[in-house]
Amino acid sequence: MNLTGKCVVVSGAASGIGRATALLLAAEGAKVALLDIKSDDIETVAKTIWDGGGTALSLAVDVTHAAEVKGAVAKVLAAFGQIDILVNSAGAGWRQSTPFKDLPEGTWEWILDVNVKGTLNLVQAVLGNMVERRTGKIVNLASIAASVGIPGLAVYSASKGAIVSFTKALAMELGPSNINVNCISPGLIESQERLAKTAGNFLERKGKPSEVAELIAFLVSDHASYITGAEFLIDGGRVLGPRGA
Ligand SMILES: NC(=O)c1ccc[n+]([C@@H]2O[C@H](COP(=O)([O-])OP(=O)(O)OC[C@H]3O[C@@H](n4cnc5c(N)ncnc54)[C@H](O)[C@@H]3O)[C@@H](O)[C@H]2O)c1
């Protein structure tokens, strides 16, 4: 996947899928802006990219704050001159399973803020440049929780359902501007330590962040130019049905 000359923004780039995506896209030749609330960790990822001969810019940002996000995107445009690709991987709210009746309002507001508002903030901040240049690829991280729901993670499931429908509607709005918008719904990935005991799928293992990054790299490449408004499951067959039935 040759991404030479492409300028990328990856949120949640300090860890897991976002980190693996940032490293892979940089290795494919893209200049990568790393956004995350964990400032030390994105510095480390940026250093790894620079040490490998790539170009990276680390920006400590809380994606729930629209003004911070706009400021960060302005810095990316000042440094790179354009934004071709946005990967929304910042996410929260799946590490603790709690019945919805016991979930404090502040916790569910936080889950919706990071997963939904954070994604919306970043998309809105980059769109001006993409629409003006009539080019762009956006990939949002949803979850299998969007389609099957996960008990104990009701608000997380709802937030990811919002991402899937947002992705589809946005793809319809932005198609005429030559911007592709897709989402990826992972099952259990290794960065998710809460459910470490079993993968619960037909491949009988958890996925690797790098395996999700490979799918993202394809979707943001020229090889995926006719794909938009799609949701891609990457879950080892987890949602196919009961094992052994
Ligand atoms: N890991 C899984 O099993 C799994 C499964 C389905 C979906 N997903 C989704 O994939 C995405 C990436 O997951 P991951 O496993 O890499 O998680 P992760 O926890 O390893 O990475 C998420 C990153 O988002 C950052 N983040 C959280 N809140 C933020 C905020 N307010 N502002 C900026 N950054 C913030 C965190 O600091 C972290 O670096 C998430 O959207 C998640 O919901 C993950």
* DSSP secondary structure string for all residues of 185-231: EE--BTT--TTTT---STT-SPBPHHHHHHHHHHHTSGGGTT--S-E
Mean pLDDT within 210-221: 98
Residue 238 is predicted with a pLDDT of 93
Residue type at position 239: V
Quote the ligand 1 centre to 164 CA distance (angstroms).
16
147 lines ligand 1 (CB under 6 A): no
- Residues facing 34 on adjacent strands: 10, 58
113 lines ligand 1 (CB under 6 A): no
Sole residue written with tokens 């099957």: 148
- Place 242 in a pLDDT band, splitting at 50, 70 and 90: confident
226 carries an active-site annotation: no
3-class secondary structure, 9 = strand
Quote the ligand 1 centre to 31 CA distance (angstroms).
21
**125/127 Cα distance (integer angstroms):** 6
The per-residue pLDDT for range 118-131, each reduced to its tens digit, is 999 999 999 999 99
Residue spans of alpha helices (H) in the chain? 16-27, 39-51, 66-80, 105-112, 118-133, 145-148, 154-174, 209-219
Contact 60/33 with Cβ under 8 angstroms?
no
Marked catalytic residue, from 156, 182, 201, 206: 156
216 lines ligand 1 (CB under 6 A): no
Domains and CATH numbers, the chain: 7-234 (3.40.50.720)
Quote the ligand 1 centre to 198 CA distance (angstroms).
20
45 lines ligand 1 (CB under 6 A): no
Contact 188/206 with Cβ under 8 angstroms?
yes
Residue 27 is predicted with a pLDDT of 98
- Place 1 in a pLDDT band, splitting at 50, 70 and 90: confident
Residue 106 is predicted with a pLDDT of 97
Q: Which of 16, 50, 48, 22 is nearest to 35 (CA)?
A: 22
Mean per-residue pLDDT over the chain, rounded = 95
Reply yes or no on whether the pLDDT at 245 is more than 80: no
Contact 88/162 with Cβ under 8 angstroms?
no
Reply yes or no on whether the pLDDT at 193 is more than 70: no
Reply yes or no on whether the pLDDT at 52 is more than 60: yes
Ligand 1, atom 42, lies closest to the CA of 91
Dihedral sign computed on CA atoms, order 232, 112, 21, 236? negative
The per-residue pLDDT for range 167-185, each reduced to its tens digit, is 999 999 999 999 999 999 9
The per-residue pLDDT for range 53-105, each reduced to its tens digit, is 999 999 999 999 999 999 999 999 999 999 999 999 999 999 999 999 999 99
Quote the ligand 1 centre to 129 CA distance (angstroms).
25
**63/194 Cα distance (integer angstroms):** 23
Contact 76/125 with Cβ under 8 angstroms?
no
Reply yes or no on whether the pLDDT at 192 is more than 60: no
Instruction: Tell me which of 201 and 138 has the higher pLDDT.
Output: 138
